[in-house]
Chains A and B, each alone.
Chain A
C-alpha cells in the first residue's frame, strides 16, 4: 500500500484529511509537530509527505515546516513533499519551493486536487528511484548564485552528495566511499572538510541552542 505522511497541528483537520486519503487507498501516517514528523520519517520509508507549514511553537510562520523540508531534502532527498498550508501563499510558496518542496497547495483544496498532486509526487518518486537503482543516478538539488564562480557550486554539490550518501548508508563511511567510488581516506577528508556529523551527534547541541 502507498504510504503518506500527513503533518498538521490541527488534529481535527488531520483526521479528516487522513480519512479522505485512506478512502483513496493510501496508508496514512500522522504527525502534529516537526519532531514527530522527523521521527515518523526515520521509522518508515515514506515517499510522499503532506506538510503544513505553521506548527507550534510557530503556528503563524513557515519556520517549522521549512525545518522539516530541510531535513527531508538532506536526509531523504527522494521523498517528495507537498506543502498544504493556509499561510500567505505568495511568500510561503516561494520559500517552500526554494527549500525543495515538490508542490504547493493553498488551503482549502478539493480532494481531487490533493490526490492529483499526490499521484504526481508518487510518479516522480518511482521514476527517481528507478533512475537510482538502474543507472545509479542520484538527484542533488543545489541553490547557486550565478556569477560567483564554479568553486562554490562544486563544493555545494560535493557536500550535498556526500551528506546524502552518508545518510543513505547510516553514516557507514566504508559503504559511502564504495558507493561514491572514493577511497576511505578521501571520504574522511570530505567529512572533515564539510564538518559532517552523525545526526544523533548533532541533536544534543541543537537542543542546547
Chain B
C-alpha cells in the first residue's frame, strides 16, 4: 500500500470540509442578504406610508421604486376614485416579460384594479419579493379602510347634527303650539297670572335652546329642495360677485331647479378659484342651452401659466383632500353630491394652458 494514500485521504477530507464550510458560509451570506433586502423593503414601505399620512393614492404612486427593486417589472392600475377614473402604467423599460398577477382592492368609491407583472423569481408565492408585494397590497387596502372610516365618521357627525336640529325644531314648534292655544283659551285672571308665571320660568330656557339651534343651523332643508324657475346667468353672476372674481359670463338659459342647492354647488366650485388663488387671469364662463337634450352646459375655464403644476384630477372630488391649510377639502365633493341630487353632472378638464369644469344641468330638474 502506498504511504501517500492516507495523506491523500486527509487532503480530500480537508478539501471536502472546506467546500462544505464555504457552501454554508455563502448560504448564510445569501440568506442574510435576502433578509436585509426584505427588512429594508418593508421599512421603506412603512416609512413611505407614514410620510404620505396613509394616503392611498400617494402611497400607491410613490411606492413604485421600492416594488421595482424587488422584481416588479410592470404595474398597470385602473383606479376609480370618488367618481373619477385614472389609469397608471408604471414599468421598467428594458423588459415586460414575466408572470402577470391580478389584484382587486376596493372600498366604497375607491377601487384599484391592478395588473402586476413580476419576474420569475419574484412571482413565486413563497419568495421574499412576493411577500413584500403582498404587504404593499395589504397596506394599500388598510389605507382605503382608514379613508372609509374617516368619511363614515364625518357622515355620522352630519347625521347627528341633522337629528339635533330636527329634534329641537319640533320641540320649539310644540312649545309655540301650546302657548298659542293657552293664550287664546284661558279666560280668568288667575289663569292668566299662572301662565305669565309659567312663561317667566320656561321662556328663557326655550329662548336659550332656540338660540343654540339657530347657531347650529344655517339653512332650511325644505327650502333647499324647492324647485323654481331661474336665470342661470343672473345666478352665476351673483356667485361671482360674492367672491369678487375676475370673470366673463357669456350666454344664458332658464332652468327649473332647486335654487338653494344650485347656488351652494356653484359657490363650492367657484370658491376654489378664490380660496386657492390658482390664477389671476380671467375666468371664462359660458352657458349653452341644448334644447334637444333638455340640458344646459356650463363651461368654467381659466387660462394658466404653462409651467403651473398639473392638478391631479382624480383627487379633486375626493372628500377631505385639499392643498390648502385652512380648507376642509369638501368643496368639490359637496358640489358633486349636490349636483347629483338634481340629476346634474360635473367634470374637471385640463389642457396645457387651461383648466376648468363643465357642469351639465337638466332644464327641468327633478330631485332623485
Contacts and interface: CB of A to CB of B under 8 A. Distances in A.
Contacts of A15: 198, 201-202, 205
B260 to A, nearest CB: 23
Contact of A54 (B167, B176, B182, B206): B167
B179 interface: yes
Contacts, number: 73
B19 interface: no
A15 B195 CA distance: 10
Contact of B178 (A16, A60, A86): A16
A192 B181 CA distance: 54
Contacts of B170: 86, 106-108
A71 interface: no
Contact of A20 (B169, B182, B201, B209): B182
Nearest to A20: B178
Interface string B151-180: 000000000100110110111011111110
A8 to B, nearest CB: 8
A20 to B, nearest CB: 5
A23 interface: yes
B186 interface: yes
Interface string B181-208: 1100110000100110010011101100
B202 A23 contact: no
B195 A19 contact: yes
A87 interface: yes
5 contacts: A12-B209, A13-B175, A13-B202, A16-B198, A60-B164
Chain A interface size range: 20 to 34
Contacts of B178: 13, 16-17, 19-20, 111
A13 B173 CA distance: 10
Chain B interface size range: 20 to 34
Contacts of B175: 12-13, 16
B15 to A, nearest CB: 77
A21 to B, nearest CB: 10
Contact of A10 (B160, B166, B179, B209): B209
A61 B170 CA distance: 15
B167 A59 contact: yes
Contacts of A59: 164, 167
Given A11-B205, A107-B173, A20 B167 contact: no
A107 B178 CA distance: 11
Contacts of A12: 175, 202-203, 205-206, 209
A111 B167 contact: no
Contacts of B166: 86
A110 interface: yes
Given A12-B203, A23-B191, A107-B173, 4 more contacts: A16-B178, A16-B182, A19-B195, A111-B178
B167 A87 contact: yes
A108 B182 contact: no
Contacts of A19: 178, 182, 194-195, 198
Contacts of B163: 60, 87
A111 to B, nearest CB: 5
A110 B194 contact: no
A109 interface: yes
Interface string A83-113: 0001100000000000000000011111100
Contacts of B164: 59-60
